[in-house]
Chains A and B, each alone.
Chain A
Amino acid sequence: MDLNHAADVEAFRAEARDWLAAHVPATPLPSLETREGFAAHREWEALLHSARWSVVSWPEEYGGRGVDIEHWLVFEEEYWAAGAPGRVSQNGINLLAPTLFDHATDEQRARVLPSMASGETIWAQAWSEPESGSDLASLKSRAVRTEGGWLLSGQKTWSSRAAFADRAFGIFRTDPEAPKPHQGLTYLMFDLHAPGVTVRPIGRLDGKPAFAELFLDEVFVPDADVIGEPGQGWRIAMSTTGNERGLTLRAPGRFLAAADRLVELWQSHGDPADTALRDRVADAVVGARAYQLFTWANASRFAAGETIGAESSLNKVFWSQYDIALHESALDLLGPDAELADGAWAEPWIFSLAGPIYAGTNEIQRDIIAERLLGLPKGRR
Chain B
Amino acid sequence: MRFLPTEEQSDFARTLHGLLAASDVPAAVRAWGAGDHTPGRALWARIAATGLFALAADEAHEGMGLMPLEMAGGFVELGRAGVPGPVVETAAAAVLLTRLGDEALAKRFLPGLAAGETSATLTLPGAGPYALDADAATHLFTVSAAGELRLAAGAGPLRTSIDPARRLALPDAGGELLAAGPAVITAARDAADWARLLTAAQCLGTGEALLARTVEYAKQRTQFGTAIGGFQAVKHRLADTLIGLEFARPLLWAAALSLAPGEVAAAKLTAGEAAYAAAMTALQLHGAVGYTEELDLSLWLRKARPLRDAWGSPSQCRAAVLQERLR
Known: A263-B326, A378-B230. A4 touches B215 (CB 8 A): no
Known: A290-B270, A291-B247. A317 touches B321 (CB 8 A): no
Q: B134 an interface residue at 8 Å Cβ cutoff?
A: no
A-B contact pairs, 14 of them (CB 8 A): A1-B3, A1-B4, A267-B326, A279-B315, A283-B318, A285-B266, A286-B318, A291-B247, A293-B250, A293-B253, A296-B1, A303-B2, A304-B2, A367-B235
* Residues of chain A within 8 A of B248, CB atoms compared: 290
- Which B residues are closer than 8 A to A by beta carbons? 1-6, 9, 69, 211, 215, 218-219, 226-227, 229-232, 234-236, 238-240, 242-243, 246-251, 253-254, 257-258, 263, 266, 269-270, 315, 318-319, 321-322, 325-326
Assess whether B238 is in contact with A290, with CB atoms less than 8 Å apart: no
Q: How many residues of A contact B (CB 8 A)?
A: 48
Q: Kindly report which residue of chain A lies nearest to residue B265, judged by CB atoms.
A: A286
Q: A6 an interface residue at 8 Å Cβ cutoff?
A: yes
- The minimal Cβ–Cβ distance linking B202 to chain A, given in whole angstroms, is 19
* Residues of chain A within 8 A of B257, CB atoms compared: 1-3
Q: A51 an interface residue at 8 Å Cβ cutoff?
A: no
- The minimal Cβ–Cβ distance linking A4 to chain B, given in whole angstroms, is 6
Assess whether A297 is in contact with B251, with CB atoms less than 8 Å apart: no
Q: Kindly report which residue of chain A lies nearest to residue B232, judged by CB atoms.
A: A379
Assess whether B322 is in contact with A278, with CB atoms less than 8 Å apart: yes
Q: Which of A112-120, A126-134, A198-206, A368-376 contacts B (4 or more CB under 8 A)?
A: A368-376
* Residues of chain A within 8 A of B315, CB atoms compared: 275, 279
Bound-state CA distance A362–B320 (Å) is 32
Residue in B3, B211, B234, B239 whose CB lies within 8 Å of A293: B3
* Residues of chain B within 8 A of A14, CB atoms compared: none
Assess whether B1 is in contact with A6, with CB atoms less than 8 Å apart: yes
- The minimal Cβ–Cβ distance linking A150 to chain B, given in whole angstroms, is 38
- The minimal Cβ–Cβ distance linking A286 to chain B, given in whole angstroms, is 4
- The minimal Cβ–Cβ distance linking B144 to chain A, given in whole angstroms, is 28
Known: A1-B69, A297-B250, A366-B236. A286 touches B321 (CB 8 A): yes
* Residues of chain A within 8 A of B6, CB atoms compared: 1
- The minimal Cβ–Cβ distance linking B276 to chain A, given in whole angstroms, is 15
Assess whether B239 is in contact with A374, with CB atoms less than 8 Å apart: yes
- 20 A-B pairs besides A267-B326, A367-B236 with CB distance below 8 A are A1-B5, A2-B257, A3-B1, A70-B1, A286-B270, A290-B270, A296-B250, A300-B3, A317-B239, A363-B236, A366-B232, A374-B211, A374-B215, A374-B238, A375-B215, A376-B218, A376-B227, A376-B230, A377-B230, A379-B231
Bound-state CA distance A293–B24 (Å) is 35
Interface residues of A in 154-191 (CB under 8 A from B): none
Known: A3-B257, A293-B253, A314-B243. A282 touches B322 (CB 8 A): yes
* Residues of chain A within 8 A of B318, CB atoms compared: 278-279, 282-283, 286
Q: Kindly report which residue of chain B lies nearest to residue A381, judged by CB atoms.
A: B232
Known: A289-B266, A293-B253, A375-B219. A366 touches B4 (CB 8 A): no
Interface residues of A in 1-16 (CB under 8 A from B): 1-6, 9
Assess whether B240 is in contact with A366, with CB atoms less than 8 Å apart: yes
Interface residues of A in 243-263 (CB under 8 A from B): 263
* Residues of chain A within 8 A of B240, CB atoms compared: 317, 366
Assess whether B235 is in contact with A370, with CB atoms less than 8 Å apart: yes
Q: A301 an interface residue at 8 Å Cβ cutoff?
A: yes
Bound-state CA distance A70–B1 (Å) is 8
